[in-house]
Amino acid sequence: MSIKIEHLNYIYSQGTAYEKQALTDINLELPDGQFAGVIGHTGSGKSTLIQHLNGLIKATEGTVYYNGENIYAENYVMKDLRSRVGLVFQYPEYQLFEVDVFTDVCFGPKNLGLPKEEVEKRAYEALRQVGLKEKYFKKSPFELSGGQKRRAAIAGILAMQPEVLILDEPTAGLDPRGRDDILEQIARLHAERGITVVLVSHSMEDIAKYVERIIVMEKGRVRFDDTPKKVFEHDRELEQIGLAAPQVTYVMRELKNRGMDVDLCATTIDEAKQSILRCMAGRG
C-alpha cells in the first residue's frame, strides 16, 4: 500500500511557444508511514511533482498508483484521492476565506459529504493538532498572525484526515520561531498518527532533522534519493545545483581534512558534537 510513480513525464503548455518539459522520467515509491523530504530549488519541478500525487496535474506520460490503483483509470474517483492525499500548498493561508477559523477548517470535511457532527469533530481535532488555541476558533482568519494563519490552513487539510500529508514549503516566509513550531507539529503528527508525510523544502538544515529519506530534484529529474546521510555525502554536487548540505557537514569535512578522524555522516549539531567529543576522547 503506497504511492507509486512510474515513468512520469510532464510537459507544460504542450504545443505552444512556451512548451517546457517540467518532469522527466520520474520513478518513485512512497511506502506507508514514511517521512520523506523533497528538495530542489525553484523550477526544479518539485511543486509540479507533488501536484501529481493527488491528481491536480495529470501526467503527460506515465502512471501514478495509489494503493495499487491507477489514478488515471477511467472509473477512478479523483475526489476520493484528494481526500486521502492531503496537499498543503505554499503560503496556504492565501486560501482562507470563511468568516471564522473554525468554519474555514470545516470546508474540507464538509466537501467530503460528512454529517455535521463529524465535520465539526474533525475540524476541532485538526485545530487542536496544529496547536491553535480555542480562543482563536471563532476569530476571522485575517486577524491571526502569520504563523497562526499558516497553522489554521494546515488544519484545513488535516480535517479531511488524509492518509498522506504533503506540504509544499510549509515554513516559507515564517520567522525561526514560527518555522520550528510548524516543523515540530508536523513531526509530532507523523509520530502520533503514523501517516505518510512528504515535506517539500529548499532548506536542507530544516528537513535534515526530521526526515528519513531525501529526494533531491534537479531540472525535472530525481538527482538523489536516499537517507539524509547518504545524500549529504554528495555535498559538492549539491552545491553545484544550488543546494547546500547542512553547515555541520562542512565542519566535519574540514576537520577530516585536517587529519581528525570524525564521522563524516553527522548531519545534525548533536551528532557532530558527539563525534568530535568521541574523537577527542579517543586521542586524549
Partner 1 sequence: MIRDITIGQYYPADSVIHRLDPRTKLVATLVFIISLFLFRSFAAYLVATAFLACVIRASKVPFRYMVRGLKAVLILLLITVLFNMFLTPGTPLVRIWKLTITREGLTTAVFMAIRLTYLIIGSSVMTLTTTPNQLTDGLEKGLRPLNKIHVPVHEVAMIMSIALRFIPILLEETDKIMKAQMARGADFESGGILRKAKSMVPLLVPLFISAFRRANDLAMAMEARGYHGGEGRTRMRPLQYHRRDGAAYLSLLVYLLAMYAAKRIAGF
Partner 2 sequence: MGIIETRHLTHDYQKIDEDGKTQVSCRAVDDVDLDVSPGQFIAILGHNGSGKSTLAKHLNAILLPTQGTVYVDGLDTRDAEKLDAIRQRAGMVFQNPDNQIIGTVVEEDVAFGPENMGVSPREIEQRVEASLKTVDMWEYRKHSPNRLSGGQKQRVAIAGVVAMEPMCIVLDEPTAMLDPVGRKEVIRAAQKLNREKQVTIILITHYMEEVIEADRVIVMDQGKILMQGTPREIFSRVEELKAHRLDVPQVTMLAHELRKSGLPIPEGILTVEELADAISPLVNHTESKKG
Pattern 161-200, binding to partner 2, x per CB under 8 A? -----------xxxxxxx-x--------------------
Among 5, 64, 182, 255, binds partner 2 (CB under 8 A): 255
For residues 96 and 153, give the distance between their C-alpha atoms in angstroms, rounded to a whole number: 7
Per CB under 8 A, the segment of 50-58, 66-74, 210-218, 241-249 that binds partner 1 is 50-58
Instruction: Determine the size of the site formed for partner 1 (CB under 8 A).
Output: 29
Contacted by 283, from partner 1, partner 2, none: CB < 5 to 8 Å by type: partner 2
- Using the rule CB under 8 A, is 213 a contact of partner 1? no
Torsion of CA 272, 278, 283, 284, to 10 degrees: 110
Cα–Cα distance for residue pair 209/229, rounded to 1 Å = 11
* Interface with partner 1 (CB under 8 A), residue from 49, 96, 152, 197: 96
248 binds partner 2 (CB under 8 A): yes
Q: Does 128 bind partner 2 (CB under 8 A)?
A: no
Least separation in angstroms between CB 2 and partner 2:
29
Whether the CA torsion 33, 37, 42, 45 is positive or negative: it is negative
What are the residues facing 39 on neighbouring strands?
201, 216
Rounded to the nearest whole angstrom, what is the least distance from the CB of residue 24 to partner 2 in the complex? 21
The residues of the shown chain that bind partner 1, judged by CB under 8 A, are 12-13, 16-18, 20, 51, 54, 56, 79, 82-83, 86-89, 92, 94-97, 107-108, 111-112, 142, 156-157, 160
